[in-house]
Amino acid sequence: MTFFRGRRLRRTPAIRDLVRENALSPNDLIQPWFVVETDDKNFEKPIGSMPGQSQYSLHKLVERAGWAVDKGLRSCILFGIPKVKDPQASQAWADEGIVQQAVRALKDKYPQLVVMTDVCLCEYTSHGHCGIVRGEDILNDPTLELLAKSALSHARAGADMVAPSDMMDGRVAAIRVMLDDNGFNDLPIMSYAVKYASAFYGPFREAAESTPQFGDRRTHQMDPANRREALREAVADLDEGADVLMVKPAMPYLDIIRDLRENFDTPIAAYHVSGEYAMIKAAAANGWIDEKRVVMESLIGIKRAGADLILTYYAEDALDWLK
Ligand code: PBG
């Protein structure tokens, strides 16, 4: 008898461990944080649609990071909320901007923590769009210069990696040239290469105060119906010098993560976004699902699809749950 019996290798926990194909490691997890420019040193404002996540003052962010680093966090990505917003997003590239200050503070205190920065204008523009606007249009090329200046200011502050999320065409090249011209040849770019125009970003826009005042992001972010186009976006960013490719959101786009995995040897990141986090939190709060198990199953699913790195608001919790 040579029947396959799947149950033979599922009999005991040790056997299951032995034949497990994928594993989640603390090394894979990137925690997003929101830092607010404020005079209130102890400012900490919970984000209503993201229970467990808050906007932090610089001081509170450093405190939170210390707690996270102590339990094994190795990497984070920062989003800034400036005091003043204007049509040119001038606080996005200000050397004394809030993200730049936060990078300096975190690198000073926790030099071993990988500090990444999100490069986009939407948190800094008065209209909430990711670029310079004329009428209702988001202008591509005039925006590139500002993105590149933002990335350079993050580099000067000591960021370990910059992550452009704006979806303007040509931004990876513009950032690469700006960084190289200023001696930052070794600073990697993690490109939000395949970023869909998704309703799952809703809670983030509350957190980052970046809801567009008119229109939406569909003229630059991708159509959720498109699969082949993801490869074109990925190729373009690789050609421009991207070091890591990201797919965003994660769970509704596992096929896209798999496509990138099979077509490229670059590290692939996936962003388990705010709406994905909020859905699990809401169901868990109602007692409808087992939060820990659903989260760990989601994260391993994202890895199994082919992601090497996962940006998730659950990173800090997952560190505990991995123990
Ligand atoms: C743009 C940016 C967004 C997210 C990350 N970077 C929002 C957007 O494109 O509107 C969303 C992340 C999330 O939903 O968790 N700066």
Concatenate the DSSP letters of all residues of 78-98 into one string.
Answer: EEEE-S--BTT-GGGS-TTSH
Query: Could you give the number of structural domains in the chain?
Result: 1
| Cα 294 to averaged position of ligand 1 atoms, centre (Å) | 23
Q: How deeply is 28 buried, as exposed, middle or buried, from its count of CB atoms within 10 A (0-12, 13-18, 19+)?
A: buried
Residue 1: is its pLDDT beyond 90? no
Q: Domain of 157: which CATH number?
A: 3.20.20.70
Rounded mean pLDDT, 111-125? 97
pLDDT for res 2: 81
User: Coil, strand or helix: which one is 11?
Assistant: coil
| Cα 304 to averaged position of ligand 1 atoms, centre (Å) | 24
Please name the residue that has the structure tokens 């003052």. 57
What pLDDT digit, counting tens, does each position of 300-322 carry? Answer: 999 999 999 999 999 999 999 99
**83 catalytically annotated:** no
Q: Is the distance from CB of 277 to CB of 314 less than 8 angstroms?
A: yes
Residue 244: is its pLDDT beyond 90? yes
Q: Is 156 annotated as a binding residue?
A: no
Task: Classify residue 176: in a domain, yes or no.
Answer: yes
Ligand 1, atom 11, residue with closest C-alpha: 201
Ligand 1, atom 8, residue with closest C-alpha: 201
Residue 248: is its pLDDT beyond 80? yes
Q: Which residue range is the domain that position 301 belongs to?
A: 24-219+226-321
Task: Classify residue 9: in a domain, yes or no.
Answer: no
Rounded mean pLDDT, 189-204? 97
Task: Classify residue 14: in a domain, yes or no.
Answer: no
234/238 Cα distance (integer angstroms): 6
Task: Classify residue 311: in a domain, yes or no.
Answer: yes
Distance of CA 215 to the CA centre of its chain: 23
What pLDDT digit, counting tens, does each position of 292-303 carry? Answer: 999 999 999 999
**248 catalytically annotated:** yes
Task: Classify residue 207: in a domain, yes or no.
Answer: yes
Task: Classify residue 134: in a domain, yes or no.
Answer: yes
